[in-house]
Amino acid sequence: MILIVSTCRYSLSEEEFVRPIVEIVQDCGFDYEVRRYSERIEPSEYSKIIICGTALRDFDYLIYIHNFTQLIDYDGTVLGICAGYQILAKLFSNELEEVKKIGVYDVKVVKDNPLIDKDTRSYFLHKFSLKKTNELLEPLAMQNDEICVFKVKSKEFYGVSFHPEVLNKEIIVNFLRL
Amino acid sequence: MNVCVLYSGGKDSNLALLKAHEEFEVSCLVTLSPKSEESSIFHYPNTELVKLQAESLGIPLIMETCSDDEESSLKALYNALRKAKELYSVEGVVTGAIRSTYQATRFQRICDDLELWCFNPLWLRDEISILNEALERGFEIIFVRVAGLDRSMLGKRLNEEIVQKFAKMRSYLNPAGEGGEYETLVLNMPLFKKRIKILEFEIIGGEFDATLIVKRAELV
């Protein structure tokens, strides 16, 4: 069972940021549940967790970041997309920087990984991201000086600052097949 | 939250409006009226009919005219949204964008510049499912422009048969017409208080690139 977490304050945003992820999970034939960021999740009930993105002006999920702290002890796999990337970065004690990026930009793979195997172009929609990480994370792909894909070293947790559901569905499919 | 809807009068912006109405207060509609059909961002045919649609909806309309080039279109959009913010205390913008990152990027940037939320409820939706949902929700939709489709489509009402035909053509046709293959006009939908009746029209253009110009219409 896959858990899909919405970080959207408004349900109209879920049409934009959650439904496309749900459809990819459905197309891959997996069972799933959708929960909201304001609910405390129990990760052990799920084999994989995807934390979706939200609107550019939406930061409500950061008020509820305590609902995600149990992820630190989770042994499954996690994909954090945009807002999910920010949540994972913060859970593992990284400071986000103001990096506003709206549109399609080049992405360069800097370390072999199971999600993204070659340089690509991706759709970005965020105001905060990482330019450097602490020792708990390792960069997997860069957009200029922004770390746009990272892995939590001790876990199968991945953060993606762009929206792979738009131009890079294969990243989500590769994650589901891990 | 008070929102405005980027409104072309076609199926996508009307479906986006209906979804916005289910969660927010739609305070106004925003329409750009390009001087010619070359605009890459906004619909061209029959933008004047949007005034009748707004009347039927009972929602105020902000309409801005713009030139063909991108810079003029974006400046007009910025000005229209700024008016929406000032006149109607709008905090968010709802669009019918489906798959164009070009379009979405520009809408998102302008909304960010104006400190407005941006909602795209049809984003990445399967195009056939959009057509089906519009029909299931009782939309009355006609074709008002074709580019690559036969001109005999003009004035025809979208129905299940046409949706099935588009589904079979999807390897070379965007079923939602997002590539400019066709444009639509909504004559009726659940939020309209009266439907639009076309009294007089003219078809201009060639066999596979033609526009239906509505000359007279009324609410009935």
The token pair that represents B139 in the structure block: 């939309």
pLDDT in tens, B194-208: 999 999 999 999 888
What does each of the 220 residues of chain B score in pLDDT, given as a tens digit? Answer: 999 999 999 999 999 999 999 999 999 999 988 776 544 445 545 677 999 999 999 999 999 988 778 888 899 999 999 999 999 999 999 999 999 999 999 999 999 999 999 999 999 999 999 999 999 999 999 999 999 888 999 999 999 999 999 999 988 888 888 878 899 999 999 999 999 999 999 999 988 899 898 889 999 9
The token pair that represents B134 in the structure block: 């519009």
Interface residues on A facing B, Cβ-Cβ cutoff 8 A: 10-13, 15-16, 19-20, 23, 55-58, 100, 102-104, 123, 125, 165-167
Residues A9, A166, A67, A28, CA torsion sign: positive
Q: How far apart are CA A115 and CA B25, in angstroms?
A: 41
> What are phi and psi for residue A124, nearest 5 degrees?
-105, 145
With a CB-CB cutoff of 8 Å, which residues 125-164 of chain B face chain A? 125-126
- Rg, chain B, Cα only: 16
Total residue count of chain B as it appears in this document: 220
Can you list the domains of chain A with their CATH numbers?
2-176 (3.40.50.880)
- Rg, chain A, Cα only: 14
The domain locations on chain B are 2-119, 127-219
CATH fold label, B2-119: Rossmann fold (3.40.50)
β-strands B92-94, B117-119 pairing:
parallel
Identical fold, B2-119 and B127-219: no
DSSP class of residue B148 equals: S
Q: B70-88 and B101-113 are packed helices; what angle lies between their axes, rounded to 10 degrees?
A: 40
Q: How far apart are CA A157 and CA A159, in angstroms?
A: 7
Total residue count of chain A as it appears in this document: 178
List the single best residue of A8, A10, A12 to mutate versus B (max B Cβ within 10 A).
A12
pLDDT in tens, B8-30: 999 999 999 999 999 999 999 99
What 3-state class would DSSP assign to B203?
A: strand
CA distance, residue B128 to nearest chain A CA (Å): 14
The token pair that represents A4 in the structure block: 């899909």
Q: Residue A165: its chain B contacts at CB < 8 A? A: 124
Q: How far apart are CA B47 and CA B79, in angstroms?
A: 18
Q: How many CB pairs under 8 A join A and B?
A: 64
CB contact under 8 A, A12 and B105: no
Per-residue pLDDT at B46: 65
What 3-state class would DSSP assign to B73?
A: helix
Cα distances from B37 to residues A61, A118, B73, B137, B210, in angstroms, run: 42, 39, 12, 30, 11
CA dihedral A110, A112, A116, A117 (to 10 degrees): 100
CATH fold label, B127-219: putative n-type atp pyrophosphatase, domain 2 (3.90.1490)
